[in-house]
Structure 1
Amino acid sequence: MKFLFQAKSPSGEIVNGKMDAADRDGAIAILQEKKFVPLKLEREKDSPAFMKDLQHLWEGVSLRELSVFFRQLSTLIEAKVSIVASLRAVGDQTENAFFKIVIAEMLSDIEDGMPFSEAMAKHPEVFETLAVSMVKAGELSGNLQRSVLFLAENTEKNYELNSKIKGALFYPIFVFSAALIIGFVVFTVVLPKLTGIFKDMKVEIPWYTAVLMTAGDFMSKYWWLVGIGIVGAVGGAIYYVKTEDGKKEWDIIKMKIPVIGSLFQYVYISRFSENLSVLLDGGIPIVRALVIVSEVVNTTTYEGVILRAADEVKSGGAMSTVFARSEYFPPIVSQMIKIGEDAGKISEVLRHMSGFYNKETDRITRNLSTMLEPILITFLGLGVGVLVFAILMPIYNIAGSIG
Structure 2
Amino acid sequence: MPVFQYQGRNKTGKRKSGKVMAENRKEAVLRLRESGVSVISINELNGILYKEISLGGKKVKNKDFIIYLRQFSTLLKAGVPIVEATKILAQQTSSKVLKKTLAAVVQNLEEGKPYSDAAEEQNGAFPPLFTNMVRAGEAGGNLDEILERMAVYFEKQYRTRQKVKSAMMYPATVGIISIVIVIFLLSTVVPAFAGMFATFGGELPLITRIVMSLGSFFGSYWWVFLLLAIAVYIGVYLLISNRKTKYFLDYVLLKLPLFGSLLQKAQIARMTRTLSSLFSSSVPILQSIMIVERILGNEVLSKVLREARTSIEKGQSMAVPMEIHWAFPPMVTQMIAIGEKSGTLDSMLDRVADFYEMEVDNSTDQIKSLIEPMMIVFLAFVVGGIVGAIAVPMFSIFETIN
- Tell me whether the two structures share a fold, i.e. TM-score over 0.5: yes
- Between the two proteins, the alignment pairs up a number of residues equal to 347
3-state secondary structure, aligned to 1:123: coil
2:227 maps to amino acid: G
Question: 1:346-388, CA deviations, whole angstroms, 9 ceiling, x for partnerless residues?
Answer: 1111011110011111112233321212331342243235334
1:239 maps to amino acid: Y
Query: Percent of pairs identical after alignment?
Result: 31
Counterpart in the other structure of 1:330: 329
How has the CA–CA distance of structure 1 residues 84 and 365 changed in structure 2, closer, same or farther, with 3 Å as cutoff? same
Q: 1:273·1:351 contact (CA, 8 Å) conserved in 2?
A: yes
Counterpart in the other structure of 1:346: 345
Structure-2 separation of matches of 1:81 and 1:379: 59
1:244 aligns with 2:242: yes
Structure-2 separation of matches of 1:290 and 1:178: 42
CA positional deviation for 1:250 = 2.9
Unaligned runs of 5+ residues in structure 2 are 1-54
Structure-2 separation of matches of 1:60 and 1:136: 20
Structure-1 separation of matches of 2:92 and 2:359: 36
Counterpart in the other structure of 1:283: 282
1:174 aligns with 2:161: no
Structure-1 separation of matches of 2:155 and 2:247: 28
Structure-2 separation of matches of 1:335 and 1:219: 56
Q: 1:67·1:155 contact (CA, 8 Å) conserved in 2?
A: yes
Q: 1:204·1:397 contact (CA, 8 Å) conserved in 2?
A: no
CA positional deviation for 1:141 = 1.1
Q: Could you tell me the TM-score, scaled by structure 1's length?
A: 0.80
Question: 1:49-92, CA deviations, whole angstroms, 9 ceiling, x for partnerless residues?
Answer: xxxxxxx8546411111111111111111111111111111111
Q: 1:135·1:148 contact (CA, 8 Å) conserved in 2?
A: yes
1:101 maps to amino acid: K
Counterpart in the other structure of 1:228: 226
Counterpart in the other structure of 1:30: none
Q: 2:308·2:318 contact (CA, 8 Å) conserved in 1?
A: yes
Counterpart in the other structure of 1:20: none
CA positional deviation for 1:230 = 5.1
Q: 1:73·1:87 contact (CA, 8 Å) conserved in 2?
A: yes
1:240 maps to amino acid: L
CA positional deviation for 1:125 = 1.5
Structure-2 separation of matches of 1:144 and 1:89: 18
1:147 aligns with 2:149: no
CA positional deviation for 1:238 = 4.9
2:115 maps to amino acid: F
CA positional deviation for 1:212 = 1.8
CA positional deviation for 1:201 = 1.0
1:322 maps to amino acid: P
1:17-32 aligned at under 5 Å gives the runs none
How has the CA–CA distance of structure 1 residues 334 and 67 changed in structure 2, closer, same or farther, with 3 Å as cutoff? same
Q: 2:76·2:85 contact (CA, 8 Å) conserved in 1?
A: yes
Q: 2:266·2:360 contact (CA, 8 Å) conserved in 1?
A: yes
Counterpart in the other structure of 1:267: 266
- The worse-fitting range, judged by mean Cα deviation, of 66-75 and 243-252 is 243-252
Structure-2 separation of matches of 1:393 and 1:237: 41
3-state secondary structure, aligned to 1:81: coil
Give the RMSD, CA atoms, in angstroms: 2.2
Question: 1:191-235, CA deviations, whole angstroms, 9 ceiling, x for partnerless residues?
Answer: 112211221111202444322211112223444x25633542453
1:364 aligns with 2:363: yes
Q: 1:59·1:96 contact (CA, 8 Å) conserved in 2?
A: no
How has the CA–CA distance of structure 1 residues 355 and 379 changed in structure 2, closer, same or farther, with 3 Å as cutoff? same
Counterpart in the other structure of 2:86: 87
Larger Rg: 1
Counterpart in the other structure of 1:254: 253
Runs of 4+ with deviation above 6 angstroms? none
1:165 aligns with 2:160: no
Structure-2 separation of matches of 1:318 and 1:59: 39
3-state secondary structure, aligned to 1:263: helix
Structure-2 separation of matches of 1:80 and 1:258: 52
1:135 maps to amino acid: V
- The worse-fitting range, judged by mean Cα deviation, of 313-322 and 273-282 is 313-322
Structure-2 separation of matches of 1:242 and 1:97: 30
1:3-402 aligned at under 5 Å gives the runs 58=57, 60-223=59-222, 225-226=223-224, 228-229=226-227, 231-245=229-243, 247-395=246-394, 397-398=396-397
3-state secondary structure, aligned to 1:317: coil
Question: 1:287-320, CA deviations, whole angstroms, 9 ceiling, x for partnerless residues?
Answer: 1111111111122221111111111111111111
Structure-2 separation of matches of 1:359 and 1:353: 10
Structure-2 separation of matches of 1:247 and 1:91: 38
- The worse-fitting range, judged by mean Cα deviation, of 178-187 and 302-311 is 302-311
Question: 1:86-137, CA deviations, whole angstroms, 9 ceiling, x for partnerless residues?
Answer: 1111111122222222111111111111111111111251222211111111
How has the CA–CA distance of structure 1 residues 110 and 314 changed in structure 2, closer, same or farther, with 3 Å as cutoff? same
3-state secondary structure, aligned to 1:179: helix
CA positional deviation for 1:389 = 4.7
Q: 1:203·1:394 contact (CA, 8 Å) conserved in 2?
A: no
Structure-2 separation of matches of 1:57 and 1:388: 41
- The worse-fitting range, judged by mean Cα deviation, of 59-68 and 178-187 is 59-68
